[in-house]
């Protein structure tokens, strides 16, 4: 994979990506805390044959172009980084399959819940974390209820979240990490049931500190500023699969409850695994992802790479701008054109005959056109 450095609103992000060839669809992986993009290495190797794989380090991970910490770690600011990376990878007219773990899932839930970002994503996989507002609401609802079992579940989650409150102390967690980074790192891995043969145990002091120091501020921004976005007002139709490790040392499975009330096209996979389930059981996770992507492709009428909403244009304007869109497309790519113009069908058929491009399908308001 090649390394790039992408500017996102003044923040330099380290991006890993395979070359864009053969019109492969892109999978964008987003890591959590306290790791970085390398935690998805077992997914990179599995999917690189059939997909273009990519990932980026969250803004708190130190790199050679980002020596100082960014000013803001508020969720609605950080999710702009996802947009910046997607636009760098595929442009504004194409999409990615989004996969997030831990904080990567938190940020991705918030990203896909914003209407302006939904046209950048084919489908979303959340690993080891629900929407942060749902997590908070499920915790609070059980805690103040009258069911003793649910109260105990909330108290158990409170106990598991002890480190979040520790992170609120200024400078203290950074000091502890810097004091014995290798010891803490290996302890976290063992506590999370990661095999001692895993390459993550070989991370040196510099890499560990580069990963863990800055992104502590994600937790501080959430608690100190109550920076938890609301759940979507309208149900989200985007295909979503959720991988829930039932032995998670950090999160209780009950915090995923009621997800389908807000995201109606979801499926769940509960595994007997710990928090870093994609490291602990990579083959199982990869099979789930593979089936999900394939199912998405199968259930999609026509796989298109570019979507263009031209509903505000007349037929003449569409034909003029169509030339510009196709100039930026590669051979074999498919454009989904959205328009309700009554005479567009005949005009497009004449245009396709003259240019050699192929109209694959015409529905009521959708036109699928393949570049020759």
81-97 tens-digit pLDDT? 999 999 999 988 789 99
For the packed helices 315-327 and 344-355, what is the interaxial angle rounded to 10 degrees? 40
- SS3 assignment for the chain: CEEEEEEECCEEEEEEECCCCCCCCEEEEECCCCCCHHHHHHHHHHHCCCCEEEEECCCCCCECCECCCCCCCCHHHHHHHHHHHHHHHHCCCCCEEEEEECHHHHHHHHHHCCHHHHHHEEEEEEECCCCHHHHHHHHHHHHCCCCHHHHHHHHHHHHHCHHHHHCCCCCHHHHHHHHCHHHHHHHHHHHCCCCCCCHHHHCCHHHHHHHHCCCHHHHHHHHHHCCCCCCCCCCECCCEEEEEECCCCCCCHHHHCCHHHCECCEEEEEECCCCCHHHHCHHHHHHHHHHHHHHHHHHCCCCCCEEEECCCCCHHHHHHHHHHHHHCCCCCCEEEEECCCCCHHHHHHHHHHHHCCEEEEECCCEEEEECC
| Interval 297-320 mean pLDDT | 83
Q: How far is CA 14 from CA 56, 64, 68, 77, in A?
A: 6, 9, 14, 17
Query: What residues contact 290, with CB distance under 8 A and at least 6 apart?
Result: 46, 47
Give the domains, in start order, of the chain with CATH numbers: 2-299 (3.40.50.1820), 306-370 (3.30.110.40)
Long-range contacts of the stretch 157-166 (C-beta < 8 A, 24+): 157/251, 157/252, 157/254, 157/255, 160/249, 160/250, 160/251, 160/252, 161/250, 164/219, 164/223, 165/223
* Res. 76 pLDDT band, cuts 50 70 90: very high
**Mean pLDDT, rounded, for 36-59:** 95
For the entire predicted model, the pTM comes to 0.81
Give residue-wise pLDDT tens across range 215-270. Answer: 999 999 887 656 788 888 888 889 999 999 999 998 888 889 989 899 988 999 99
Q: Average pLDDT of 65-94?
A: 92
With 70 as the cut, is the pLDDT of residue 301 above it?
no
| pLDDT at residue number 156 | 79
Q: In this predicted structure, what is the pLDDT of residue 225?
A: 53
Ranking 63-67, 153-157, 270-274 by mean pLDDT, the lowest is 153-157
Report the b/e string of 6-39 with b at 16+ CB within 10 A.
Answer: bebeebbbbbbbbeeeeebbbbbbbbbbbbbbbb
Does residue 7 or residue 141 have the better pLDDT? 7
Residue 31 has pLDDT above 80, yes or no: yes
What's the N-to-C CA distance of the chain in angstroms?
A: 30
Instruction: Give the pLDDT of residue 67.
Output: 78
Strands 121-127 and 240-245: parallel
Average pLDDT of the residues in 108-126: 94
Percent of the chain with pLDDT over 90: 60
Question: Looking at the predicted structure, is the pLDDT value of residue 152 above 90?
Answer: no
- Residue 137's pLDDT band (boundaries 50, 70, 90)? confident
pLDDT in tens, 51-61: 999 999 999 99
Residue 13 and residue 359: Cα distance in Å, rounded?
39
pLDDT on residue 226: 65
- The least confident of 144-148, 156-160, 201-205 is 144-148
pLDDT band at 11 (very low <50, low <70, confident <90, very high): very high
Is residue 361 very low, low, confident or very high in pLDDT (cuts 50, 70, 90)? confident
User: How many C-alpha atoms does 271 have within 13 Å on its Cβ side?
Assistant: 24
Q: What's residue 298's pLDDT?
A: 67
- pLDDT recorded at residue 55: 98
Residue 331 is predicted with a pLDDT of 83
The closest of 38, 24, 46, 28 to 285, measured between CA atoms, is 46
pLDDT of residue 294: 85
Q: How confident is the model over 178-188, as a mean pLDDT?
A: 96
Whether pLDDT at 372 is above 90: no
pLDDT > 70 in the chain, percent: 98
């Amino acid at each position: 994979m090649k390394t790039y450095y992408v500017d996102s609103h003044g923040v330099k992000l380290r991006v890993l990506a395979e070359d864009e060839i053969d019109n492969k669809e892109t999978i964008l992986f987003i890591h959590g805390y306290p790791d970085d993009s390398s935690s998805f290495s077992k997914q990179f190797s599995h999917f690189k044959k059939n997909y273009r794989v990519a990932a980026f380090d969250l803004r708190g991970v130190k790199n050679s172009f980002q020596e100082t910490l960014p000013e803001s770690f508020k969720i609605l600011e950080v999710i702009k980084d996802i947009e910046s990376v997607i636009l760098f990878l595929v442009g504004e007219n194409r999409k990615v399959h989004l996969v997030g773990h831990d904080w990567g899932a938190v940020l991705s839930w918030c990203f896909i819940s914003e209407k302006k970002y939904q046209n950048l994503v084919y489908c979303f996989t959340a690993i080891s974390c629900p929407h942060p507002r749902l997590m908070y609401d499920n915790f609070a609802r059980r805690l103040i209820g009258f069911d003793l079992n649910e109260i105990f579940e909330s108290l158990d989650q409170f106990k598991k979240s002890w480190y979040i409150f520790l992170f609120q102390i200024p400078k203290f967690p950074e000091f502890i990490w810097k004091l014995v980074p290798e010891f803490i790192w290996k302890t976290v891995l063992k506590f999370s049931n990661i095999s001692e043969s895993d390459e993550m145990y070989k991370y040196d002091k510099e890499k560990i500190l580069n990963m863990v120091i800055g992104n502590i501020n994600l937790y501080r921004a959430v608690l100190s500023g109550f920076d938890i976005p609301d759940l979507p007002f309208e149900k989200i139709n985007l295909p979503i699969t959720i991988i829930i490790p039932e032995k998670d040392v950090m999160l209780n499975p009950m915090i995923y409850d009621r997800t389908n009330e807000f995201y109606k096209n979801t499926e769940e996979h509960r595994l007997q695994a710990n928090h870093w389930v994609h490291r602990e059981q990579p083959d199982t996770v990869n099979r789930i992802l593979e089936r999900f992507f394939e199912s998405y492709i199968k259930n999609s009428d026509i796989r298109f790479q570019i979507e263009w909403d031209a509903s505000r244009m007349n037929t003449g304007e569409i034909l003029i701008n169509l030339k510009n869109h196709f100039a930026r497309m590669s051979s074999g790519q498919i454009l989904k054109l959205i328009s309700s113009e009554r005479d567009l069908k005949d005009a497009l058929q004449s245009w396709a005959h003259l240019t050699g491009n192929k109209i694959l399908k015409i529905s009521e308001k959708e036109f699928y056109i393949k570049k020759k």
